[in-house]
Structure 1
Amino acid sequence: MSDTLSVLVVEDDPALASMLRELLEGEGYAVVAVHDGQRGLHEGLTRRFDILLLDRGLPALDGLDLLGRLRAKGVTAPALILSALSNPADRVEGLDMGAEDYLGKPFDIDELLARLRSLLRRHAAVSDAVRVPGGLLESASRTVTLDGGAVVVLSERECGLLAHLARSPRQIFNRQALVDSVFTEADDEGVVDTYVHYLRKKLGRSCVVTVRGVGYRLGPLA
């Protein structure tokens, strides 16, 4: 591969961790393997990974707690949970915590590799980062990564509004057009002003420009 894909493996069973490393490296991945949740959190926050492969029952920090903390910090790499806890309720809990897939132990090696490939394809399809004033908006994770490296988490409505403005950065949108496109359940144009206010509080006043008597547009890009 010209661009090697990287995998963070967090697995407390040394034999299984070693097997996963050997397997994934044999498939061409670059692998970082650690054995507890706290170390996994450190690696996940200090390096960029293309995919996360996390055991659920980890020492120091449970796998689902680890994933929740990574997501809260803006880490969007797709995650597959490996766990001996594999009944439907366990899988639902894992998916609700931000995992894209969940595979019970013991697992079939070919199925694991196929699921990793599928996760990477799906993640590539929804990775729609777009430039906004002062940073990069990723709609899939509802985050703006600021030019200085800080990550700002947006609500679903804040993200929808900013993404709509960013798709047509030179266009001026009146309030009704934004209600029709972004706030379809609202019956009051004032909702637009409210969410412009929220965005400015999080990203600075220049992120959305008011065109007096007309509406709003995206702020100037650097």
Structure 2
Amino acid sequence: MGDERSVLVVEDDAALASLLRELLEGEGYTVVTAHDGQRALHEGLSRPFDVIVMDRGLPAIEGLDVLERLRRKGVTTPALVLSALSNPADRVEGLDRGAEDYLGKPFDIDELLARIRSLLRRHADTSATVRIPGGTLDVGTRTVLLDVDGRVVLSERECEFLEHLARRPQQVFTRAGLLESVFSDADDGGVVDTYVHYLRKKLGRSCVLTVRGLGYVLGPLA
């Protein structure tokens, strides 16, 4: 998605989804839309976004259920719930179940854009830490803090590799793709397997899972 900020818009009202896409693209964002909860879950797990704008009353899976599932999978993308359910109890529920912000419908366009900008600023301050099943990666210190107990310090390249996997949980990465995106200065594709070995030695064999015939995917820490 290049250097542009990316937004996942989850809205089952086609006219409103189209309006939001036009509005956000006019502000320079790259926009992906999903019209039901199942598609939203797939998109949220398949690629990284900078912000999620989520309706609640969705077909297939309710919006807050989608957010809870994304959070359980380690997706930390900040989310703004945009819903007609906007009394105080609804807002509290939304914030308790994974949203960073909550805006009722009908909404003011300038307020919506301001809230998205605010989420981007706040997330930029905390994006140096990435959630991993079983722990947290602190990119600044190249340290994995384990939920159970202890900490593991990674080399610069190990940290870069793990961060790449962790920011796209559930995505399967091919060796060729990893060689291009993480190890572009290496001539031998075997370097990917070497660093998989290094991470497994430090964090347990399940931290990077092999998907036979396809590549690698992030797994839980030992």
Larger-gyration structure (1/2): 1
What residue in structure 1 maps to residue 118 of structure 2? Answer: 118
Distance 1:71 1:57, change over 3 A: same
Q: How does 1:98-109 map to 2 (within 5 A)?
A: 98-109=98-109
CA deviations on 1:87-129 (whole Å, 9 max, x unpaired) are: 1111111011111000000000000000000000000001123
Cα distance, 1:159 vs structure 2: 4.3
What is aligned with 1:54? 54
Match of residue 202 from structure 2:
206
- Counterpart secondary structure, 1:53: strand
Q: Distance in 2 between matches of 1:117 and 1:62?
A: 25
SS in 2 for 1:48: coil
Write the distance in 2 (CA, Å) between the matches of 1:35 and 1:59. 8
2: CA distance, partners of 1:98 / 1:158: 22
Deviation of the 1:47 alpha carbon = 1.3
Q: Report the counterpart of residue 27 of structure 1 in structure 2.
A: 27
How many matched pairs? 153
Q: Which amino acid aligns with 1:60?
A: A
Give the AA of the match of 1:58: L
Task: State the identity %.
Answer: 67
Q: Separation in 2 of the partners of 1:162 and 1:18?
A: 48
The question of whether the paired residues in 2 share the 8 Å contact of 1:45 and 1:75 is answered with yes
Structure 1 Cα separation of the partners of residues 134 and 113 of structure 2: 31
1:8 alignment partner, SS class: strand
Relative to structure 1, the CA distance from residue 113 to residue 162 in structure 2 (aligned partners, 3 Å threshold; closer, same or farther) is farther
Large movers: runs of 4+ above 4 Å: 159-163
Normalising by structure 1, report the TM-score. Answer: 0.62
Unaligned runs of 5+ in 2: 137-144, 155-198, 205-222
Structure 2 counterpart of 1:178: none
Check 1:32–1:162 CA distance in 2 against 1; reply closer, same or farther (3 A cut).
Answer: farther
Q: Secondary structure at the match of 1:43?
A: helix
* Deviation, structure 1 residue 205: 7.1
* Match in the other structure for 1:97: 97
Q: What is the CA-CA distance between 1:158 and the residue it aligns to?
A: 3.8
Q: Is the 8 A contact 2:134 2:146 kept in 1?
A: no
Question: Partner letter of residue 93 of structure 1?
Answer: E
Paired amino acid for 2:84: A
Do the aligned partners of residues 162 and 104 (structure 1) sit closer, same or farther apart at CA in structure 2, a change above 3 Å counting? farther
Deviation at 1:153, TM superposition (A): 3.6
**Distance in structure 1 (CA, Å) of the matches to 2:57 and 2:48:** 23
Distance 1:41 1:116, change over 3 A: same
